[in-house]
Structure 1
Amino acid sequence: MEKIFDNAKFIYTEFDNYFDPKEKAWGAPRPRLYQHTEIAEGSGLPMFASNFEIGSDGKTELFFSALGIVDIYINGKRVGNDEMKPGWTNYHKRALYYNYDVSDFVGRGKNRILAVVSSGWYSGRIVGDYYGGNNPAFIANIIHNGESILTTNENWEATVGGSVRTADIWDGEYYDATQDSYAKISTVGYDSAEWGKAEICDYFNGVLTPFVGPTVQVRDELSLRSKAMTVYDGIRYNGSNYGEINICANPESFPLTLKKGQILIIDLEQEMVGWAKLTLKGARGTTVNVHYAEFLNDSGEISRGNDGAKGSLYTINLRSALAKEIYILSGDGEETYRPTFTFYGYRYVQISAENDIEITDFISEVVGSVTEEIGTVETSNELVNKLISNTLWGQRGNYLSVPTDCPQRDERYGWTGDAQAFSVTAAYNANVRDFFRKWMQDARDAQSDEGAYSEVIPRSGCCSAENEAGWTDVGIIVPYNMYVMYNDIELLNDHYDSMEKYIAQLIEKFGMAGANARFGDWLAYDQCDKTFISSAYFVHDLDLMIKMSGVLGKNDRAEHYKELRKQAYAYFVENYMRDGKLIGQTQTDKIIVLAFDLVDGDYAKELADELVEQIKTNGNRLSTGFLGTYNLCTTLSKYGKDKMAYTLLMQRNEPSWLYSIDQGATTIWERWNSYTKENGFGDVGMNSFNHYAYGSVVEWMYRYMAGIEPGTPGFGTVILQPRVDTRTAEELPDGQKRMTYAKASYKSGAGLIESEWHSENGFTYKCTVPVTAELRLPIFGEKFTVNGVEHGFDEYEIKDGCALIGLAPGEYVFEEK
């Protein structure tokens, strides 16, 4: 444990949660927990308080951590802007601590601190009793002018109570504003005579280490207002199983009065992650119910998967997660509430109350890890632009302490397959270097003693399988991708021993076959041999280990992995090729071997041609799942098949990226057909409307469509390779038009990179580079100008239909004639 906490102890107080942590929670409704149940009132949350004195001016620092989610108040003020503190880690191994400068919160004389701790990721339903199912706990040290003046110990006051009566990440929050507020409880002189004393926690055996990565905050610049509102007051018969809502008003703005018996549904027209911030007026003790959902029921028909009346919230896909709030009004004029110990994934917010209330303001606050958004892409196709937006919103919502698979149902885990498939796209969209440094620390903590990574990171009460091909390879793939995108050699150094352990135990358990073949190409319409994925990914892992060993100067280890690679590739050839040809014939088979360079020369070109023809035969549609899809368009362009990449990008039939947009998607969905206008809702057992993995096509848009790619790691040099849509009228599928414009920017560590092309009236290419770059300029004419100066293509090396032009840092405009 860090020396800063040498004299501090984790403290707790006895706390009865509202559920049995030993019961399996994930994926299975509980008798009292299903989508139409309200969150129950509990007895409050564990609270810890202490008075302390300061005798002089100066700098006062607060060091703290928690087993659970903690919120802190000093002298009536909430401390800090961070949410969901201290973040999710494997509590068997580690908890993170924060350090705040609280000089502005304290003064000479008496002061008072209060910490409120919910079960959170430590002992909430999301993990059950995986970390022991123990009471939430808190540890702190206050240092003034370099001297410790207060540490947590058995002399702290402790009780269970306060305004938050129930809190759970999956289920939501119950807040009673008639109870004393945390601000009041944290003021000097507060009467805590009936409180008990804290007890010393002896069940945390991990280490306390400084917080790493971006903190979770309300991202005010992204928060949303209502786009449309509906008020209804009951259900009327429409011939369907559930009927339809009886609409009585469509308010256009706030403030508004909501009558007893009426229900307000707010449509944000955008799926997001966070919570509603409400400003209300009403009688003391009035109960306000707030519900969240991703979709509305479209017909009231069970045959279309509806779980309620047409126009009402569709919530059965949340499975056992309640995702709700109850707020009890204090009656003290205008009052504002938003949750603290949970978050929701939603597009729609529903509000009702047991008495008349006035809603004076509403804002939907976006909550997530604060990763600076450093990339932009736009095109001449508005549906593609919507796809780009949907992908970014999916990333914003699911990058919350860990890269979750989805943010709304009884899951929200750090699924490794989703994260590795999307990691390069994520790094183009935002600065995720520190986010992944934190998560790779989580990966090392999740690693078994033998060296196996788990399928979700951090480990939790379920989904704890190890060595899953394409998933647990994340411990190799993500560090390499972060090296390429950020030149993050520090991460390679920190993580290298862990990667070696992973590879060694794979060989010990599976020989040269690779990891378990459980998932294969998850959710593919045409599934390949799952063991093929295991073998191909193992060879790929070894290729990356060779490269990373070389980067770190570990040449002996590089030679070691070269030898292992020969053996693994021999196994691959023996089992998945016959007479020099690939046995498997799905799209994914061909994509993976081409992406991972498992074939080369003429046969690679032959396979690329076969892949294009196979896609054409399938109606110009993909048939891939998570692993095949993220490699699809980049592999096509790698082999010069840009025309098919564009055709797939702008396909609107199922399955395709634009198909879900035509069905109403505002983020990326878990399934290509999670909802269809023709048939309704998909399989309720696994049907998330915010599941970012398929958004990995945006990587292709940056790298190939706009053409921004690192020439050396971290964009020390740049490759500009704009791939223009050159499909002729005869080559365009029915309903498609050529892309005539693409523009991207990327704020690399070296500086801003911009790339833009127009092809409607001739060809114009504009770029900005902060470092030396190689431009691979496509040739459409005989001559061109650079910043107005004419040049001939014969001045440059020509390769694959492009002129190779060296650029010094600067801004350029190329026009071809």
Structure 2
Amino acid sequence: MELYDLRVNHLCNPLGYEMNKTVFSWKVKNAVGKKQEAARIRIGELENFETLIMDTGFSKNLSSIASQVDVPLMPCKRYFWDVTVRTDKGEEAVSSVSWFETGKMDEAWHAEWITCDNQQKRHPIFKKKISLRGKVIRARLYICGLGLYEAFYENERIGEEYLTPYCNDYSEWVQYQTYDVTEMLQKEGMLSVLLGNGWYKGRFGFDNPSESGFYGDKWKLRAELSIEYEDGSKDIVGTDESWRVERSNLIFSEIYDGEHRDDTLPKLPEEAAIVCEAEKGKLTARLSTPVTVHEQIKPKELIVTPNGETVLDLGQEFTGIFSLQVKEEKGTKIHIQTGEILQNGNFYRDNLRTAKSEYVYISDGKEKNICPHFTFYGYRYVKIEGMEHLEKDDFTGLALYSEIPETGNVETGNSLVNQLISNIRWGMKSNFLDVPTDCPQRDERMGWTGDAQIFSAAATYLADTYSFYKKYLYDMACEQKTRGGKVPQVIPNFGKEGTSSVWGDAACIIPWNLYLFYGDQTILEEQFESMRSWVDYIRRTDQKNHCWRQEFHYGDWLALDHPTGGENGFLGGTDERFIADVSYAVSAGIVKKAAHILGLEKEEAEYGAVENAQYEWIQQEYYTATGKCCIRTQTAQLLTLKYHLSENEEEARKMLRILLDESDGKLRTGFVGTPLLCKVLSENEMDDLAYELLLNEEFPGWLYEVKLGATTIWERWNSLDKNGCISGTQMNSLNHYAAGAVAEWIFRYAAGINMDETDISKAGFKAVKFTPRLNQTLGYAKASYESAMGLYACAWEFEDETHVKVSVQVPFGGKAQLIIPEAEKSIFDNKENPMFADVRDGICYLTAGDYTVEYTIEKKPASYSIDTSMRKLLEQKEIKKFIGSMIPLETLPREFMPMSLRKLAVQFGGAQEEQLEQINEVLKKF
């Protein structure tokens, strides 16, 4: 057997991260045994474990998905560890050796904050000559530069990260990074640090239209180089007034507006660095995972537009920077602009609003490769002016995003759905740049909490998001501490002080999702105060008069059913007060469950009472005595079913079908309803409607934008009209991920890898429910998910119209329930197939292993009857012809389409029961 994916705090060999706790995890594959019987963790100061600082011994209590070990750690020190696992079959295997290294912890800095003349527009390069006294065996650079920094040794870049020290509320905390520079320091040389403006010092946020910084107005640097020699001695070089300042050729850098570089500028005299005041925020070890180049994207086409513009089409929208090979005459100005789409064949950027999103370069006449330092772009198209001879291959797009290792894959028999899945994944990559942003291209790029929580489950199927979200949640908790528990709608807030239900509920929903996916209660321990303080903020606002519901709420944002807003509006048609009340109850319930897991009995009772009281109020306020929801929208019915708000759920199911029929089988939902839509339909045995929504190629729907050439997810259902024209520029991004939340349903139901949320003891994918849902039009679906426990996989495929093959995989230590779709009961008699070794009530109970079955699907009842809606019946040409012989369809009002044929035949055709039965028999044959 093999042990793999060893992690500390969900990171692989973490260097210099904040480590208040140490949580170890690992996975096992290729074992004969089915589960772990015991495990042993060793931690040592040396790779050969000659000096152990911790040996747990073999223990049955060590969990492979999260074992918190109390380790006494020293600052600036590397530790080595391994794990040994014994299985229930007597196997034993030892992992390879992994490591983790602490940052400075509470150790004092031997470095001061330094700055320079900040009136000079040319960006500074702080530098220091490094002299060595012998052979270097260990060297570390601890560094933070504001607004952004890039460090070099002898002009060689240190590390592969961009946009360090990343984006957070700098008034609360500032991150430093740790770099292993041992190999670089085998010779003497110049240590230099280039600084840019970034989020700290540049133009950013809605409330900061000028170029002044939101958090600061000075370039600042603090760095400490620690050098250890072979003879045991040590040197520390820290920033102070002995450092020198050279001026770079960068004269402008902004997140929104891009970067300007002039290589014709004369060299200026060096300046002395100036010691300055420390940052207000606490300087701490990093939490942000690295932002690096992940893909290099070459242009698909070089276009000369009808307007005579030279434009490169990279074929894929993404977030990042670029490299461009240039060789132009001295003084030549090259102007590069980025955009998401062409309009009438021409370059277009009006939907970026005030963001210039450009790069300006003035050549010194030498051939070189240029690349931005301190900005990023969300783009597919690039307009280039000033280059005499541009070749397509001179340009390379560089996709930048945080370290979020891929965990989930889905493929289907429908090419449009496969493109949709790709679009969702690229939407996530594009917006997971340190902060889960709403969009990466216009003058926004902010960490909207609503978007983040809506997409969090889908994202965590697609990628390992634990560390990424952990940093965001830490940001959130910091903001709450100074606001009485209120969650700003944007994290970091950058002046956006407002809040809202659904948006603020990210404080509860995201950590809860992380717990469900990873089974590590550490995230609940770290975030419990944040979770509770959000609910307490609502309680204080709500008081006895339900004042919370009277505040501004975004509600079902960007839904299509508002009576006055329509397709181009903002607010949905579902009462925002209802959504606020439901969300309040949901968050209180999450706090109650988190308290239970953490053993906080008093808090569990307290927030359970809040949850129950809120649900009672909701039922009194929004439901009739017969359990009918008083709000007649798709989203209201979805919330009713999802959270069991009515004792008459059949009425909600019926109403949801009616509402979908009234909208011709199309969605009308926004931020609240869309993530629930297909999921709730499948949970309520309405897979036919879920697939109809997924496979709809018309507006509004996911495949509508795919057919119009989208390569990421749009902000609006109608971001483009049917002719490919931008529907508006006020708020219209072609790269948002919120509506991509449907990926969760694709994994859980279409493909069938469904987490069991009902039993929190199974969190971390200790067990799943395989619930694949067949669909002839889709043809097949196959998915895999590298969970905290290991690799789960589920696949189904129609071999012909009546024969299906289903395959599943359960990892070592995992368990699963499999509900074989549309199978006759006789299938369970095949005891030779290990899939049926343990069958209870038609459910196969599985342990680790691979399982496959081929079978004939059960004959379904007739698809059409006199109780089918007219909309569904008239979709079939032959049925339409048949019904047209009885009812004058040309005069049938559109609002009658959701009604059944039975109703209409009796009302307008005078049909008797015997005639209705004859019609019913005819319909059954179609």
TM-score w.r.t. length of structure 2 = 0.75
Within a 5 Å distance, the mapping from 1:744-755 to structure 2 comes to 744-755=783-794
Secondary structure of 2:589's aligned partner: helix
Within a 5 Å distance, the mapping from 1:186-225 to structure 2 comes to 194-202=269-277, 204-219=279-294, 222-225=295-298
Distance 1:754 1:790 in 2: 18
Please say if residues 517 and 533 of structure 1, whose CA atoms lie closer than 8 Å, have aligned partners that are also in contact. no
Deviation at 1:760, TM superposition (A): 4.2
Deviation at 1:785, TM superposition (A): 7.8
Distance 2:818 2:388 in 1: 67
Distance 2:108 2:304 in 1: 53
Task: State yes or no: 1:350 paired with 2:383.
Answer: yes
Q: 2:349 aligns with which of 312, 315, 318?
A: 315
Distance 1:136 1:784 in 2: 71
AA aligned to 2:798 is S
Deviation at 1:655, TM superposition (A): 1.1
Secondary structure of 2:327's aligned partner: strand
Aligned partner of 2:147 in structure 1 is 68
Aligned partner of 1:187 in structure 2 is none
Aligned partner of 1:614 in structure 2 is 659
AA aligned to 1:56 is G
Aligned partner of 1:405 in structure 2 is 438
Please say if residues 517 and 788 of structure 2, whose CA atoms lie closer than 8 Å, have aligned partners that are also in contact. no
Deviation at 1:100, TM superposition (A): 0.3
Deviation at 1:381, TM superposition (A): 1.0
Deviation at 1:679, TM superposition (A): 7.3
Aligned partner of 1:733 in structure 2 is none
AA aligned to 1:224 is I
AA aligned to 2:743 is V
AA aligned to 1:331 is G
Alignment RMSD (CA, Å)? 2.2
Please say if residues 12 and 46 of structure 1, whose CA atoms lie closer than 8 Å, have aligned partners that are also in contact. no
Instruction: Name stretches of at least 5 consecutive residues in structure 2 with no aligned partner.
Output: 1-103, 562-572, 757-761, 857-926
Distance 1:325 1:343 in 2: 10
Task: State yes or no: 1:550 paired with 2:585.
Answer: no
Distance 1:667 1:478 in 2: 23
- Identity rate of aligned residues, in percent? 33
Q: 2:553 aligns with which of 518, 522, 535?
A: 518
AA aligned to 1:768 is Q
Secondary structure of 2:312's aligned partner: strand
Aligned partner of 2:852 in structure 1 is 813
Aligned partner of 2:198 in structure 1 is 120
Deviation at 1:158, TM superposition (A): 2.5
Task: State yes or no: 1:779 paired with 2:822.
Answer: yes
Aligned partner of 1:176 in structure 2 is 262
Q: 2:585 aligns with which of 515, 520, 539?
A: 539
Please say if residues 91 and 131 of structure 1, whose CA atoms lie closer than 8 Å, have aligned partners that are also in contact. no
Query: Aligned residues, how many?
Result: 718
Q: 1:224 to 1:355 in 2, by over 3 A?
A: closer
Deviation at 1:329, TM superposition (A): 2.4
Deviation at 1:710, TM superposition (A): 2.6
Aligned partner of 1:729 in structure 2 is none
Within a 5 Å distance, the mapping from 1:581-620 to structure 2 comes to 581-600=628-647, 603-620=648-665
Distance 1:69 1:765 in 2: 51
AA aligned to 1:475 is A
Please say if residues 141 and 148 of structure 1, whose CA atoms lie closer than 8 Å, have aligned partners that are also in contact. no
Aligned partner of 1:426 in structure 2 is 459
CA deviation profile, 1:486-511 (whole Å, cap 9, x unmatched):
11311110111121222112111223
Distance 1:636 1:816 in 2: 26
Deviation at 1:706, TM superposition (A): 0.9
Deviation at 1:646, TM superposition (A): 0.3
CA deviation profile, 1:306-363 (whole Å, cap 9, x unmatched):
xxxxx22110100000001112223233x11111111100111111216556676221
Distance 2:186 2:634 in 1: 67
Task: State yes or no: 1:576 paired with 2:598.
Answer: no
Aligned partner of 1:368 in structure 2 is 401
Secondary structure of 1:340's aligned partner: coil
Distance 1:46 1:502 in 2: 42
Distance 2:416 2:829 in 1: 32
Q: 1:157 aligns with which of 224, 237, 244?
A: 244
Distance 1:481 1:130 in 2: 35
Deviation at 1:208, TM superposition (A): 1.3
Please say if residues 767 and 815 of structure 2, whose CA atoms lie closer than 8 Å, have aligned partners that are also in contact. yes
Please say if residues 785 and 816 of structure 1, whose CA atoms lie closer than 8 Å, have aligned partners that are also in contact. no
AA aligned to 1:162 is S
Distance 1:791 1:217 in 2: 45
Distance 2:526 2:834 in 1: 49
Please say if residues 64 and 139 of structure 1, whose CA atoms lie closer than 8 Å, have aligned partners that are also in contact. yes
Which structure would you say has the larger Rg? Answer: 2
Task: State yes or no: 1:94 paired with 2:173.
Answer: yes
Distance 1:14 1:3 in 2: 31
Distance 2:837 2:470 in 1: 47
Deviation at 1:455, TM superposition (A): 0.3
Please say if residues 421 and 696 of structure 1, whose CA atoms lie closer than 8 Å, have aligned partners that are also in contact. yes
Task: State yes or no: 1:673 paired with 2:725.
Answer: no
Distance 1:217 1:793 in 2: 47
Q: 2:502 aligns with which of 456, 466, 470?
A: 470
TM-score w.r.t. length of structure 1 = 0.84
Distance 1:218 1:12 in 2: 29
Task: State yes or no: 1:687 paired with 2:728.
Answer: no
Task: State yes or no: 1:327 paired with 2:410.
Answer: no
Distance 2:542 2:607 in 1: 16
Secondary structure of 1:292's aligned partner: strand
Aligned partner of 1:23 in structure 2 is none
Distance 1:368 1:792 in 2: 41
**Higher RCO (CA-CA < 8 Å; seq separation 6+):** 1
Deviation at 1:106, TM superposition (A): 2.0
Deviation at 1:390, TM superposition (A): 0.5
Aligned partner of 1:184 in structure 2 is none
Within a 5 Å distance, the mapping from 1:264-303 to structure 2 comes to 264-298=310-344
Aligned partner of 1:732 in structure 2 is none
The range that moved more, 275-284 or 781-790, is 781-790
Task: State yes or no: 1:460 paired with 2:494.
Answer: yes
Q: 1:394 aligns with which of 418, 427, 431?
A: 427
Aligned partner of 2:779 in structure 1 is 740
AA aligned to 1:153 is D
Aligned partner of 1:767 in structure 2 is 808
Q: 1:709 aligns with which of 744, 747, 754?
A: 754
Q: 1:320 to 1:630 in 2, by over 3 A?
A: same
Deviation at 1:716, TM superposition (A): 1.1
Distance 2:165 2:587 in 1: 33
AA aligned to 1:168 is E
Distance 1:275 1:788 in 2: 58
Deviation at 1:201, TM superposition (A): 2.8
Task: State yes or no: 1:451 paired with 2:485.
Answer: yes
Secondary structure of 2:307's aligned partner: strand
Please say if residues 543 and 565 of structure 1, whose CA atoms lie closer than 8 Å, have aligned partners that are also in contact. yes
Aligned partner of 1:12 in structure 2 is 115
Deviation at 1:693, TM superposition (A): 0.3
Aligned partner of 2:520 in structure 1 is 488
AA aligned to 2:201 is S
Aligned partner of 1:723 in structure 2 is 773
Distance 1:532 1:357 in 2: 57
Q: 1:765 to 1:699 in 2, by over 3 A?
A: same
Q: 2:303 aligns with which of 230, 246, 265?
A: 230
Secondary structure of 2:394's aligned partner: strand
Within a 5 Å distance, the mapping from 1:234-249 to structure 2 comes to 244-246=306-308
Aligned partner of 1:45 in structure 2 is 123
Deviation at 1:792, TM superposition (A): 11
